[in-house]
Structure 1
Amino acid sequence: MIKSLDELLELKGNKMKLAVVACQDEDVLGAVVESAEMGISDPILIGSKQETFDFAEKLGLEISTFRFIESSSLEEAAETGVRLVSAGEADYLMKGLVDTSILLKAVLNKEWGLRTDSLLSHVMVYEIGTYHKLLYLTDGGMNLYPDVEEKAKIIDNASVVARAMGNEKIKVAVLAAKEKVNPKMQATVDAAELERLGKEGRFGDDVIVEGPMALDLALSKEAVQVKRFPGEVAGDADILLVPNIEMGNGIGKAITYLAGGKSAGIIMGAKVPVILVSRADDKETKLYSIALGNMIAKYSREMAK
Structure 2
Amino acid sequence: MAEQGMIENRTFAEIEIGDTARIIRTLNEQDIQLFALVSGDVNPAHMDADYAATDMFRRVIAHGMWGGGLISAVLGTELPGPGAIYLSQSLRFIRPVGLGDTITASVTVTEKRPEHHIVVFDCRCLNQDGDLVISGQAEVKAPTEKVRRARVALPDVQIRGHDAYRRLIELTCAGEPESTAVAHPCSAAAILAAVEAAEANLIAPVLVGPERKIRQAAQEASKDIAGFRLVHAEHSHDAAAKAVALVRSGETKLLMKGSLHTDELMEAVVSWATGLRTERRISHAYIMDAPGHPAPLIITDAAINIAPTLGEKADIIRNAIDLAHVIGIDEPKVAIL
**Equivalence for 1:37:** 199
Letter in 1 for 2:167: E
Alpha-carbon separation, structure 2, partners of 1:54 and 1:99: 19
Q: Are the counterparts in 2 of residues 71 and 77 from structure 1 also a CA contact under 8 Å?
A: yes
1:242-294: CA deviation from partner (whole Å, max 9, x where unpaired): xxxxxxxxxxxxxxxxxxxxxxxxxxxxxxxxxxxxxxxxxxxxxxxxxxxxx
Quick one: percent identity of the two aligned structures? 32
> In the alignment, is the contact (CA less than 8 A) between 2:189 and 2:221 conserved in 1?
no
| 1:160 CA displacement | 0.9
| Conservation of the 8 A alpha-carbon contact between 2:182 and 2:256 | yes
Matching residue within 166, 188, 210 for 1:48: 210
**What secondary structure sits across from 2:291 in the alignment?**
coil
3-state SS of 1:97 partner: coil
Give the aligned length.
174
CA contact (8 A) 1:22 1:98 kept: yes
Whole-angstrom CA distance in 2 between matches of 1:93 and 1:142 = 16
Distance, in Å, in 2 between the alignment partners of 1:37 and 1:133 is 25
> Which segments of 5 or more consecutive residues in structure 1 lack a partner in the other structure?
176-305
Offset at residue 61 of structure 1 (A): 0.3
Which residue number in structure 2 is paired with residue 167 of structure 1?
A: 329
In the alignment, is the contact (CA less than 8 A) between 1:23 and 1:97 conserved in 2?
yes
Q: Distance in 1 between matches of 2:201 and 2:304?
A: 30
Q: Which has the higher helix share?
A: 1
User: SS of the residue aligned with 1:146?
Assistant: coil
For 2:248 and 2:268, locate their aligned partners in 1 and report how far apart those are by CA, in whole Å.
11
Q: List per-residue Cα deviations over 1:181-206 (Å, max 9, x = no partner).
A: xxxxxxxxxxxxxxxxxxxxxxxxxx
How far apart, CA to CA, are the structure 2 residues paired with 1:59 and 1:26? 5
TM-score (norm 1): 0.54
Q: Which amino acid aligns with 1:9?
A: I
2:302 is the alignment partner of 1:140: yes
The code of the aligned residue for 1:107 comes to V
Alpha-carbon deviations, 1:217-245, whole Å to 9, x = none? Answer: xxxxxxxxxxxxxxxxxxxxxxxxxxxxx
Q: How far does the alpha carbon of each residue in 1:154-200 deviate from its partner, in whole angstroms, 9 at most, with x for none? A: 1001001100011221210112xxxxxxxxxxxxxxxxxxxxxxxxx
- Structure 1 counterpart of 2:103: none
1:86-235 alignment, distance < 5 Å: 86-175=248-337
- Quote how far apart the aligned CAs of 1:3 are: 6.0
Summarize deviations over 1:8-65 as a string: whole Å, max 9, x none.
Answer: 3332322111100111022121011011112111000011211221221222101011
1:27 aligns with 2:189: yes
Structure 2 length normalisation: TM-score? 0.49
Distance, in Å, in 2 between the alignment partners of 1:143 and 1:3 is: 30
**C-alpha deviations, 1:49-103, integer Å up to 9, x for none?**
1122122122210101100011112121111111111111110101112222221
Tell me the residue number matched to 1:13.
175
Question: Which residue does the alignment assign to 2:112?
Answer: none
**Where does residue 120 of structure 2 map in the other structure?**
none
Higher share in strand: 2
Aligned-residue RMSD, C-alpha: 1.7
